[in-house]
Amino acid sequence: MDRVVEDEALVAQFQAGRPDAFDDLMKRYKGQIYAYLLRSVRNYEDAEELTIEVFFKAYRALDTWKPQARFSTWLYKIAHNLSIDFHRSKARRQTYSLDDEEFIIDEPTAVDLGSNPEWDVEEKDRHRVIREAMDQLSPKQKAVFMLNRYQGLQIKEITEVLGMAEGTVKIHLHRAVRKLQNLLQPLWDGNEI
């Protein structure tokens, strides 16, 4: 059975009075939503709290949800909006910087018993450079790029999540890719790190 059809069937079951159908939806998407939010807010605790809030909002609104878009797209839209609210709130408070060492997340790397410590340092440097390059994208370019490349959403789904025209999404994605290629070219050429 198609995942979209399964999602709609679970929503219909929830709406028909089977609350545990929501548990199945949450298990299916919590990892993806958490990963998206973690890349956005760069803090494990905040990403976890926001993930809980995404599913809380979804639970409260699910009785009236109609399948105009995919269920997963709807969840990403909720997550994206909460992420924007989080950053606005954080900008008003200005208590911590995203550059603070304790808030920088390391991308997971494979652990090997015979791993090379020098390679580990190089890998962390690579992730730092990529993270810094991503930070140079405009907020819209970054959102489009993350949804497409990290979360695997198609252009049409991104238009629904971000409320942009398809052409605008394509332009932001193209500009993001081009800018990242220019910023990261030294990394691939071996001139840096």
Model confidence over 42-93: pLDDT tens digits? 889 999 999 999 999 999 999 988 888 899 999 999 999 999 999 888 877 7
How many Å apart are CA 71 and CA 140, to the nearest integer? 22
From first to last of the 193 residues of the chain, give the pLDDT tens digit: 688 899 999 999 999 999 999 999 999 999 999 999 999 998 899 999 999 999 999 999 999 888 888 999 999 999 999 999 998 888 777 644 444 444 455 554 445 555 566 666 777 777 788 888 888 999 999 999 999 998 999 999 999 999 999 999 999 999 999 999 998 887 666 554 4
Which structural domains are found in the chain, ordered by start?
A: 1-100 (1.10.1740.10), 106-193 (1.10.10.10)
For the entire predicted model, the pTM comes to 0.72
Query: Which of 102, 14, 22 is closest to 54 using CA atoms?
Result: 22
* Cβ–Cβ < 8 Å for 57, 76: no
Model confidence over 82-92: pLDDT tens digits? 999 998 888 77
Q: At what angle do helices 3-15 and 71-93 cross, to 10 degrees?
A: 80
Alpha helices in 71-150, H assignment, sequence order: 71-93, 117-135, 139-145
